[in-house]
């Protein structure tokens, strides 16, 4: 009796085991079919699912789905980068075509024998300005490629931000006079920062140039000492601004108002973000009523 009971138990276990194996094999075929559909239609949000309760299979499927999720994220990022690259190429083409068209047009006018010497000089000055604009544009793109290069190393040292602000502002004295902006610079002495001096000067310069392009009537710079950072706050009044575009303010392809940039590509604030990030700082922008504010956080020197 005991032997028969043992045989029945073993037979039952064998049937159950075979059944589980067959069910697992069926589930594996089903999951393989799901995976094939996901590969064929990779743009969908489908994931691999299982009906088994095997912890090992569940862990395996979880990892497969994580891999699918990572691939989809990478695909989305690639599509986003491709879209941004196309937009940037369009913007660059526009920025280059405009001065080149002007240069071509005025160069052709210079061949007119009826032109007076004064008119020729005027056209030559316009051509020279357009060439200078093109040169500056190419320099900016070269500078950006250098900044974003992983080989580019910054020379971190003790920098006096208050002095750097005053020295850079003086360089733009004539521009502020010409634009008739009311300028106010905080003369407070703050602790030194840990930064690259050239990069810091470029950050200040780009912020000033941004204000010169977009400010209506005033521009202010204040330095605020905090526990971990020295914060540079720049503010200026602006025309009507769409708050939904604020998150794009540091994008390579963004420009607040291309009609006011003089044909220059909107890379100034993008370069600010890149340079301050490389110095372990941060930058944020906000619009309050009709005032645009940008805060750059420099690491304090310890």
Mean of pLDDT values over 10-39:
68
H-state helical runs in the chain: 2-40, 55-109, 117-148, 161-171, 173-179, 197-214, 268-278
Mean of pLDDT values over 61-85:
79
pLDDT band at residue 121, thresholds of 50, 70 and 90? confident
Q: How many residues does the chain have?
A: 302
Spell out the residues 6+ positions from residue 173 whose beta carbon is closer than 8 angstroms to its own.
none
Q: How far apart are CA 221 and CA 215, in angstroms?
A: 13
Crossing angle of helices 268-278 and 117-148, in 10° steps, is 30
pLDDT of residue 282: 94
| Per-residue pLDDT tens digits for 208-223 | 988 988 899 999 999 9
Tell me the sheet residues that pair with 196: 156
Q: Which residue shows structure tokens 């989809």? A: 72
pLDDT of residue 164: 93
Q: Is the distance from CB of 211 to CB of 182 less than 8 angstroms?
A: no
pLDDT band at residue 17, thresholds of 50, 70 and 90? low
More confident residue, 22 or 31: 31
Q: Is the distance from CB of 177 to CB of 212 less than 8 angstroms?
A: no
pLDDT of residue 138: 76
More confident residue, 76 or 234: 234
| Per-residue pLDDT tens digits for 140-198 | 677 777 777 656 678 899 999 999 999 999 888 888 888 899 999 988 889 999 999 98
More confident residue, 108 or 94: 108
Neighbours of 102 (CB within 10 A): 16
Cα torsion angle, 186, 280, 248, 176, sign:
positive
Crossing angle of helices 197-214 and 161-171, in 10° steps, is 50
What count of Cα atoms within 13 Å lies in the side-chain half-sphere of residue 270? 18
DSSP reduced 3-state for 9? helix
Considering only CA atoms, which of 208, 223, 133 is closest in space to residue 170? 208
| Token pair belonging to 294 | 């940008």
Tell me the sheet residues that pair with 193: 159, 300
Spell out the residues 6+ positions from residue 120 whose beta carbon is closer than 8 angstroms to its own.
110
Mean of pLDDT values over 203-211:
90
pLDDT of residue 265: 47
Spell out the residues 6+ positions from residue 3 whose beta carbon is closer than 8 angstroms to its own.
none
| Per-residue pLDDT tens digits for 248-291 | 788 766 665 544 444 444 577 888 998 899 899 999 998 888 88
Spell out the residues 6+ positions from residue 157 whose beta carbon is closer than 8 angstroms to its own.
194, 195, 196, 197
Residue 247 has pLDDT above 90, yes or no: no
| Per-residue pLDDT tens digits for 223-238 | 999 989 999 999 999 8
Spell out the residues 6+ positions from residue 176 whose beta carbon is closer than 8 angstroms to its own.
183, 212, 219
More confident residue, 214 or 1: 214
Q: Which of 17-31, 107-121, 184-198, 268-282 has the lowest mean pLDDT?
A: 17-31
Average pLDDT, the chain: 80
Q: How far apart are CA 75 and CA 104, in angstroms?
A: 42
């Amino acid at each position: 009796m005991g032997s028969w009971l043992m045989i029945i138990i073993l037979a039952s276990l064998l049937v159950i085991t075979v059944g589980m194996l067959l069910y697992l094999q069926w589930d594996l075929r089903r999951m393989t079919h799901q995976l094939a559909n996901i590969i064929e239609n990779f743009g969908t949000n489908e994931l691999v699912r299982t009906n088994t309760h095997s912890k090992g299979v569940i862990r395996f499927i979880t990892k497969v789905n994580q891999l699918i999720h990572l691939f989809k994220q990478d695909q989305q990022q690639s599509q986003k980068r491709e879209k941004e690259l196309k937009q940037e190429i369009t913007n660059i083409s526009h920025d280059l075509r405009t001065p080149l068209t002007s240069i071509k047009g005025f160069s052709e006018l210079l061949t007119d024998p009826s032109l007076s010497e004064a008119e020729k000089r005027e056209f030559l000055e316009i051509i020279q300005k357009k060439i200078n604009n093109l040169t500056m544009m190419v320099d900016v793109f070269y500078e950006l490629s250098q900044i974003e290069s992983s080989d580019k190393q910054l020379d971190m040292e003790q920098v006096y931000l208050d002095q750097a602000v005053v020295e850079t502002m003086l360089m733009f004295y004539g521009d502020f006079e010409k634009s008739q902006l009311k300028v106010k610079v905080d003369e407070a002495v703050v602790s030194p920062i840990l930064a690259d001096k050239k990069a810091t000067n470029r950050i200040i310069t780009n912020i000033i140039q941004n204000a010169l392009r977009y400010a209506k009537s005033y521009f202010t710079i204040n330095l605020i000492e905090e526990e971990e950072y020295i914060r540079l706050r720049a503010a200026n009044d602006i025309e009507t601004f769409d708050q939904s575009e604020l998150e794009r303010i540091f994008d390579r392809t963004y420009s607040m108002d291309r009609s006011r940039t003089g044909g220059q590509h909107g890379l100034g604030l993008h370069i600010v973000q890149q340079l301050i990030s490389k110095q372990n700082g941060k930058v944020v922008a906000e619009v309050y009523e009709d005032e645009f504010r940008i805060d750059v956080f420099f690491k304090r020197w310890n």
